[in-house]
C-alpha cells in the first residue's frame, strides 16, 4: 500500500472543513486536484472516505477511524517540529535567565555587558518573576539559569550559593532615625513600612522579627522591585527593611541605610536544571554574575 503525504494532507483538510473547495484553497491547489488526491487515496485504502449528499460532503465511518490514526501521526509530527526548533535555538545559542527583581537592576545588566564582550552573537532572554516560578522554570528546563533566594527543592534542580547580603533599614535623608547606627523593630513602631511582597522569604523573616519583639508592623505597601520601594522612601512616604543588594542598586541620593537588628542575611543562589552540562557561553555568564555580586558585596562592607 503506497500512501503519500500529499494525499493524507488533502484527506485531513477535507475531513476538517467538510469541503473540497476549502481544502483546495488551504493547499493552494485546484478543486479537481483535491478530488484526484482523495480518489487515489480511496483506491489505495480500498474503502470510501466521503459521500456527497444534497446538503454537503460527509465522512464515512471508515474515514472517521482513518482520521483518528492520521491525527496521531500529525501530533507526532508537531512534536518533531517543536524538537527541531529547540535544537535550532540551542545551536543559535540562546540563554534564558530567570531572576527576581533584586538581581534585575544591580547584577544582570553589568554581568551581561561583560559577557557580551566575549560572546556578542549569543542572545540572552531575561525573565523577571517570583522565586516560585523561577524554580518551576528551571525544574522543567524552561530556562537555563535562575537567580533566587528561596531554598531550591532538590528535584530537577542544582544550585550554587552566591555572596550573601545583609538586610538593612532604608531611611529617607534627614529622618530622625538616621542618627542611630542600628535600627530595631521597636524603633519602627510608628513608621509606615514598604516591604517585599507578602509570602516572600524576606517579609516572612522581617515579620518574625517584629513578632518576637512584640512590635506591630504598619505595612502600607508591598512592592516586587527594590528600586520602587526605595523611591517611595525617598519621597518621604515611609521606611523599608530591604536587602542591601536591592538598596545599593537604586543610585538614589535621597535614601540611606542602617544596620537592622536582629541581623539577617539575604542569601541568593544560582540554580540550574539538574544533569545538564553548561555550554561555554553559559559558563561565562555564570562567572560574570558571580563576579558582579562579589564586587557589590565588597562595596557595601
Axis crossing angle, helix 280-299 with helix 108-118, rounded to the nearest 10: 140
- The set of cell numbers assigned to 19 is 469541503
- Cα 6 → chain centroid: 39
CATH-assigned architecture of domain 166-265: 3-Layer(aba) Sandwich (3.40)
Answer whether 177's CB lies under 8 Å from 187's CB: yes
Given this model, what pLDDT does residue 87 score?
64
- CA dist 236 and 222 (Å) reads 16
Report pLDDT for 88: 64
Contact yes or no for 147/268 (Cβ under 8 A): yes
CA–CA dist 67, 252 (Å, integer): 65
What pTM did the predictor assign? Answer: 0.63
* Residues 4, 41: Cα–Cα separation, whole Å: 9
Helix H or strand E segment including 220: strand 218-222
Determine the CATH number of domain 5-90: 1.10.10.10
Alpha-helix runs per DSSP H in 92-200: 101-106, 108-118, 131-139
Q: Which residue, among 6, 65, 73, 15, has the nearest Cα to 33 in the 3D structure?
A: 6
Give the per-residue pLDDT at 249: 63
What pLDDT sits at residue 89?
60
pLDDT in tens, the chain (301 residues): 688 888 888 888 898 888 888 888 888 889 999 999 999 989 988 899 998 877 678 889 898 888 888 887 777 766 676 666 666 666 568 899 999 888 888 889 999 999 999 999 898 999 988 888 888 888 888 899 999 887 666 677 888 888 888 999 999 999 999 999 999 999 999 899 999 887 678 888 899 999 999 999 999 998 888 888 888 999 899 999 998 888 876 556 788 999 999 999 888 899 998 888 888 999 999 999 999 999 988 887 6
H/E run at residue 157: strand 157-161
Cα of first residue to Cα of last residue in the chain, in angstroms, is: 77
> What per-residue confidence (pLDDT) applies to 100?
85
Contact 240, 104 (CB under 8 A): no
User: What residues does 195 pair with on adjacent strands?
Assistant: 222
Check if 5-90 and 166-265 are the same fold. Answer: no
Region for 21 from its dihedrals, namely left if φ exceeds 0, alpha if ψ lies in -120 to 50, beta otherwise: alpha
Q: Which of 247, 288, 284 is nearest to 107 (CA)?
A: 288
- Grouping H, G, I as helix, E, B as strand and the rest as coil, residue 241 is strand
- Report how far residue 272's alpha carbon sits from residue 243's, in angstroms, rounded to the nearest whole number: 23
- Angle at the Cα of 59 from the Cα atoms of 56 and 63, rounded to 5 degrees: 160
Q: What is the pLDDT of residue 92?
A: 62
pLDDT at 78: 66
pLDDT of 151 reads: 67
Domain borders along the chain are 5-90, 92-163+267-299, 166-265
Residue 67: partners with Cβ closer than 8 Å, 6 or more residues away = 11, 12, 15, 59
Q: Which CATH superfamily is domain 92-163+267-299 in?
A: Periplasmic binding protein-like II (3.40.190.10)
Amino acid at each position: 500500500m503506497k500512501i503519500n503525504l500529499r494525499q493524507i494532507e488533502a484527506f485531513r483538510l477535507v475531513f476538517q472543513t467538510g469541503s473540497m473547495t476549502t481544502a483546495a484553497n488551504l493547499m493552494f491547489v485546484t478543486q479537481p486536484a483535491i478530488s484526484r488526491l482523495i480518489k487515489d487515496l480511496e483506491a489505495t485504502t480500498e474503502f470510501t472516505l466521503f459521500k456527497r449528499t444534497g446538503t454537503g460532503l460527509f465522512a464515512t465511518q471508515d474515514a472517521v477511524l482513518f482520521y483518528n490514526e492520521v491525527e496521531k501521526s500529525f501530533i507526532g509530527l508537531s512534536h518533531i517540529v517543536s524538537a527541531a526548533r529547540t535544537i535550532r535555538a540551542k545551536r543559535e545559542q540562546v540563554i534564558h535567565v530567570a531572576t527576581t527583581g533584586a538581581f534585575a537592576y544591580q547584577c544582570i545588566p553589568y554581568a551581561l555587558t561583560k559577557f557580551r564582550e566575549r560572546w556578542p552573537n549569543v542572545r540572552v532572554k531575561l525573565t523577571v518573576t517570583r522565586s516560585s516560578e523561577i524554580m518551576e522554570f528551571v525544574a522543567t528546563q524552561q530556562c537555563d539559569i535562575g537567580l533566587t533566594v528561596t531554598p531550591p527543592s532538590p528535584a530537577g534542580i542544582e544550585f550554587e550559593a552566591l555572596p550573601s547580603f545583609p538586610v538593612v533599614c532604608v531611611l529617607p535623608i534627614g529622618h530622625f532615625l538616621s542618627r542611630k547606627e542600628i535600627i530595631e523593630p521597636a524603633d519602627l513602631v510608628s513608621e509606615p513600612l514598604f516591604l517585599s511582597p507578602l509570602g516572600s522569604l524576606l517579609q516572612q523573616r522581617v515579620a518574625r522579627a517584629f513578632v518576637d519583639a512584640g512590635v506591630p508592623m504598619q505595612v502600607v505597601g508591598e512592592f516586587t522591585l527594590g528600586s520602587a520601594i526605595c523611591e517611595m522612601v525617598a519621597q518621604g512616604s515611609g521606611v523599608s527593611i530591604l536587602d542591601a543588594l536591592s538598596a545599593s542598586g537604586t543610585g538614589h541620593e535621597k535614601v540611606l541605610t542602617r544596620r537592622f537588628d536582629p541581623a539577617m542575611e539575604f542569601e541568593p543562589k544560582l540554580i540550574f536544571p539538574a544533569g545538564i552540562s553548561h555550554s561555554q557561553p553559559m559558563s561565562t555568564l555564570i562567572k560574570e554574575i558571580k563576579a558582579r555580586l562579589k564586587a557589590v558585596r565588597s562595596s557595601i562592607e
